[in-house]
Amino acid sequence: MTDTGEQVREQVRQHYALAATQAVTEGCCGSGCGCGGTADVVDERFGAALYDATEVAGIPVEAVAASLGCGNPLAVADLAPGERVLDLGSGGGIDVLLSARRVGPTGFAYGVDMTDEMLDLARANAERAGATNVEFRHGTIEDLPFDDGAVDVVISNCVVNLSPDKAAVLAEVYRVLAPGGRVGISDVVAEDRLTPDERAERGSHVGCVAGALSRGEYLAGLAAAGFADAEVTFTHEVADGMHGAVVRARKPV
């Protein structure tokens, strides 16, 4: 990875370490700590506002407070009992805990995160929730700490756009999925008309905007990694020409 990539990763790590700390100490994500976050405005394009209140009932408030994403990947992942699920950039653990409910006692939900503070928060949230079919591992999404074919479904909530090496992320997702496995990712995605510089003008990297792929770039990246049936569907606008989106794909059998 280039020095620029390392700098981006460290910037992201520090940003979300602060978010984890503030979720515990302040009961919220604090000032500008997540995608689109600000101290004074509840941004309904990001975070807990994108979950139905009944869906998060019983989930620890700390996990909900640390929800910093741009969508609800469980709404499109269509999880089934007994499946093994992996959440990329699992943060405070909200999507892992919700996944664990969906897959039931015969399934399992994993989370991977590179931020120690988020991992500590997620493990504490799992204990509070009494979840036994979950595990959180330390690692990066460009080098996942899982064996080949280890999971049936990969989800992620506004994290892929933060990576400085998205081709590596998609290759790793393909590797850890079992044949026939599928992807259900929420992410920020740009319209194809926007150049990288124009995306950067619309928001910061840690704010989930500047590092976003365009729709065409996402589809090309999924195809290059080996995925089939890839689609990118815009759900809501987060800036001019930038959208929260659902990304789906399948690993061929």
Q: Residue 72 carries which DSSP code?
A: -
Residues with Cβ < 8 Å from 177, sequence gap 6 or more? Answer: 149, 151, 152, 153, 154, 183, 251
The angle formed by the CA atoms of residues 102, 105 and 111, to the nearest 5 degrees, is 65
The angle formed by the CA atoms of residues 201, 207 and 209, to the nearest 5 degrees, is 45
Question: 63 pairs with which residues across the strands?
Answer: none
Residues with Cβ < 8 Å from 98, sequence gap 6 or more? Answer: 55, 56, 59, 74
pLDDT confidence of residue 207: 81
Find the helix packing angle between 116-129 and 94-103, rounded to 10°. 40
Burial class (CB in 10 A: 0-12, 13-18, 19+), 176: buried
- The domain that holds 192 is classified in CATH as 3.40.50.150
21/60 Cα distance (integer angstroms): 15
* Residue-range definition of the domain harbouring residue 144: 3-250
163/251 Cα distance (integer angstroms): 21
Question: Domains in the chain: how many in total?
Answer: 1
pLDDT confidence of residue 24: 57
The angle formed by the CA atoms of residues 41, 155 and 116, to the nearest 5 degrees, is 70
Residues with Cβ < 8 Å from 145, sequence gap 6 or more? Answer: 112, 137, 138, 139
User: How confident is the prediction along the chain (253 residues), in pLDDT tens digits per residue?
Assistant: 444 677 777 777 676 667 666 665 555 444 444 555 433 333 454 555 556 666 666 666 666 665 555 666 677 678 999 999 999 999 889 899 999 999 999 999 999 999 999 899 999 999 999 999 999 999 999 999 999 999 999 999 889 999 999 999 999 999 999 999 999 999 999 999 999 999 999 988 888 888 999 999 999 999 999 999 999 999 989 899 999 999 999 999 9
- Quickly list DSSP for 29-54: --TT-STT--SS---TTSGGGGS-TT
Q: Are 205 and 11 in contact (CB under 8 A)?
A: yes
186/232 Cα distance (integer angstroms): 10
